[in-house]
Amino acid sequence: MISFRKFLTACFLASCLLLTSCTQQAPSQFDRAQQESTSKGATAVVDSSQSGSSFNRYFPDSGEGYERIYSQEKPGFAQAKLKRDGKEIAILAISDVLNNPSTVEKFQGSTERINGYPAVSQGSTGTAVLINDRYQVKIRSKDTSFSQGDREKWLGKFDLRGLSKLN
């Protein structure tokens, strides 16, 4: 009788294992995010992308009541927060778009210029310029007090000419 119980238990466990391995699992939130990011034509950073730290010297300096705080650096990207009176009002960023031709296409029909470089609005809170079809310099407002005019003024404070000479 004991061996029959062991046999039934083994059969039950084997059938449970078989049933659970045959069912298809729903994609996780990470699987969905991966699908969405790659479906838009985005690819991983290419080996020839600039290091994020190489962009830091092109950001505007703190001053006139504003504080610039570097917040992120990774291959092909650097970001800083812009604060006034201790409050975050904007995000400043430089990215190497060598691996993302769709970013370059957004600037193709641009008639706006900042310091001679094509500029575009990105939604109601973002403004960007493209340097040599390679580097996007972008400012995104985090506070309604930081206007389109403020973003354009601060984009002009970046060392865009210096960035254009970066290989």
Q: pLDDT digits over 64-104, tens only?
A: 999 999 999 999 999 999 999 999 999 999 999 988 889 99
Confidence of residue 34 (pLDDT cuts 50, 70, 90): very low
Is the same domain home to 147 and 70? yes
45 domain residue, yes or no: no
Is residue 159 predicted with pLDDT exceeding 80?
A: yes
Q: Which domain holds residue 35?
A: 2-39
- Residues sharing a CB contact under 8 Å with residue 161, sequence separation 6 or more, in sequence order: 115
Report d(CA 126, CA 128) in Å as an integer: 7
Could you read off the pLDDT of 113-158 as tens digits, one per residue?
999 999 999 999 999 999 999 999 999 999 999 999 999 999 999 9
Domain count, the chain: 2
Report d(CA 150, CA 144) in Å as an integer: 11
